[in-house]
Structure 1
């Protein structure tokens, strides 16, 4: 992988989407903080640099700046939103607060031809883009010219063609800029000269080599949940280090219906991977009793998870490393993966702080992959489609799909409702068209009539979204007949539920999970 793009992170919640789009075009890239050491940039030797957006204002004292080195390397630079603004300021332009802020859909007027727009947009055309800015470039540095404008940004797209510096006020990385991926490909291929030869087969080879280098002769324990992420991680690790790997599966009592049995069958009997299965449901549910705060629930599950792992690792005979199926979106939503200034949205039980809690070091071979990339890797490794194509499932399990206190009774009710809902989706042939679908048991009871009797039972919410990478999502547009049929089955077959509702919230402003 000689062609590399460096993405400097200024704290945008969607920085990882830039990486995803770049990889989609077959170019390897990495994200580093804006404060990265210059030596690390030199050793990475990028063919181009992309400056991400971010929450700060370049007009504020002490706001982040790009390393001056990137403007001295002779490689192309693309600044996005905040990245455009800091590039303009650092090259002696001006940025000001705008009295016409743009948030959401906007339209770019193409003013001048550029390699950035080649084969994509022509002069005089008007194209939809997605904006999220309160500041704007007010005066361009020497050598730059405007190549696109919008209603609120007279410098919505700018270029210094001689130095191959480009800036856009809009966000090409999000799906709401329909041509954004092709624009980024113009930067990486036409402007930076990348060949686009990075594949998942190449990542597989690199990951196996990296695992062997990190682990050496050490023993590895893998936290196996049975979901896509940990399953792919386990098979990848087994291919890399064989019998040095032992998988530990912890049943915390908050799994989907039949999942515990499936994990044992697939990994112990099909793949012949050494597996320790521990039913710790009483322990987890006992510690969660009466706990309502979602962050506290996550921390209890995370801490208990590690305690159980420590116990099982000791029984196995000790291990040097703990392997996890941590992904990019997990990390960016917890703490900025790169050390940048991203705002924390929620914590994830398998990210952050674990090395201090245990005697093992972490191996996270999927840490820089998105969910759809993990599926591609799983197919590359030969995993069955029934496992690779499964919907995502959170580490804390049903605990974060039961707002308020968790109990075994509620978990059992939700498990049954969720299984019926997924069964209906599969029967309708919609499973693969949906990114993630699940039921939520609300802390609300409502009056109903069942038979001739009054009922006072729980409300079940159904959630289904479409997404590419989990960073943004839209609710799936079921027809009313499907929802009515699913609701009827749940109410008829699950004792404890007498009302069903459907969640149509997108992400943002909501998250996919309820907690």
Structure 2
């Protein structure tokens, strides 16, 4: 448990001191971490906060529109960088290389936007598990191990860096943020890039996005998992109509967790899994089969890459 009243006062003071009266750009993804950062910074520095949402082209279905609506009152800047990310990731198959490319692109876009606004600092919602997994060599989070060494900002401001996810939710509730934000399901910074095994293509991302939407529609209302999603993990032979299809294999995953350091698999009933498999294969022509991942964390991580 975190003393939310003390933490909020300390974080606001920290943001004021570190920003030194200068403008600050912040990475606003719409998740609980960045949303809490946005509210703390709004209280700390007011109009000196410049929130930026980068549409990487690797977002969930309807994500960009939803975030623009939720944060309309913050003068949110939206950057359409989908083509940039796909080009930068072309031909890349190694998960760590993907994450480092995404981290590099992430910081360069914010540097570019900062020059337009005169901002000198970058605020981001890094939390403690990001640090643990990056420094422990498990995987490089795009906002930690994926960041390049040379950045043009005077400094990074990370007010949540000592908190776990459940503690961030406590702070969000104490800030009287909407329940939609407080309980929002985590979505990885690299987006669907870590839910597509191997090289990214527009087709794979589209298939993953559509399958992900179906998995969420069928699982979230019934089981309220910590996280659930679909990933494109390879290809396999199937039959549709009278024709052979060497289509995509989609893995569906749903887990419960407290702080993302460990996770247990949600025991989704057979009839729901059957509905998910039927919908994904029927609604996405390129998919030949669907599997359900029953591996806890550890030994697996929650995401695939």
> If the length of structure 2 is used for normalisation, what is the TM-score?
0.96
Is residue 2:89 matched to residue 1:288?
yes
Displacement, 1:212? 1.5
Give yes or no for contact 1:413–1:495 (8 Å, CA) kept in 2.
no
Q: Aligned equivalents of 2:35 and 2:204: distance in 1?
A: 27
Give the ranges of 4+ consecutive aligned residues of structure 1 lying more than 4 Å apart after TM superposition.
352-355
Rounded to whole Å, the distance in 2 between the matches of 1:327 and 1:354 is 18
State how 1:110-509 maps to structure 2 within 5 Å: 199-268=3-72, 272-316=73-117, 318-335=118-135, 343-352=136-145, 353-354=147-148, 356-428=150-222, 430-431=223-224, 434-443=225-234, 445-509=235-299
* Larger fraction in strand: 1
Deviation of 1:221 (Å) = 0.5
Q: How far 1:354 moved relative to its partner? A: 5.0
1:257 touches 1:415 (CA, 8 Å); kept in 2?
yes
1:274 CA displacement: 2.6
Q: Displacement, 1:351?
A: 0.9
The Cα of 1:214 is off from its aligned counterpart by 1.9
1:356 Cα deviation after fit = 2.7
Q: Give the alignment's Cα RMSD to 1 decimal.
A: 1.4
DSSP 3-state at the match of 1:448: strand
- Tell me the secondary structure at the aligned position of residue 144 of structure 2: coil
Unaligned runs of 5+ in 1: 1-23, 25-197, 336-342
SS at match of 1:334: helix
Match of 1:157 in 2: none
Q: Is the 8 A contact 1:221 1:321 kept in 2?
A: yes
CA 1:253–1:383: 2 relative to 1, 3 Å = same
Deviations 1:368-419 (A, max 9, x none): 1111111111111122111221111111111011010001111111101000
Structure 2 unaligned spans of 5+:
none
Determine which structure has more spread, i.e. the larger CA radius of gyration: 1
Q: Which has the higher contact order (CA 8 A, sep 6+)?
A: 2
* Correspondence 1:32-181 to 2 at 5 A: none
SS state of the match for residue 349, structure 1?
coil
Whole-Å Cα distance in 1 between the matches of residues 280 and 100 of structure 2?
31
SS in 2 for 1:358: coil
1:363 Cα deviation after fit: 0.5
Distance 2:203 2:141 in 1: 25
Alignment partners' CA distance in 1, 2:242 and 2:14: 65
Given that 2:114 and 2:120 are in contact with CA atoms closer than 8 Å, whether structure 1 keeps it comes out as: no
Q: CA deviation at 1:355?
A: 6.4
CA contact (8 A) 2:220 2:228 kept: no
d(CA) in 2 for partners of 1:237 and 1:392? 21
Deviations 1:43-86, CA, capped at 9 Å, x for gaps: xxxxxxxxxxxxxxxxxxxxxxxxxxxxxxxxxxxxxxxxxxxx
Q: Residues of 2 paired with 1:502 and 1:204: CA distance?
A: 40
Deviations 1:221-252 (A, max 9, x none): 10111222111111111111111100111111
Select the structure that is richer in helix: 2
Q: Deviations over 1:102-133 (max 9, x none)?
A: xxxxxxxxxxxxxxxxxxxxxxxxxxxxxxxx
Question: For residues 418 and 388 of structure 1, what CA distance do their matches in structure 2 show?
Answer: 21
Counterpart-to-counterpart distance in 2, 1:324 and 1:260: 18
| Matched length | 304
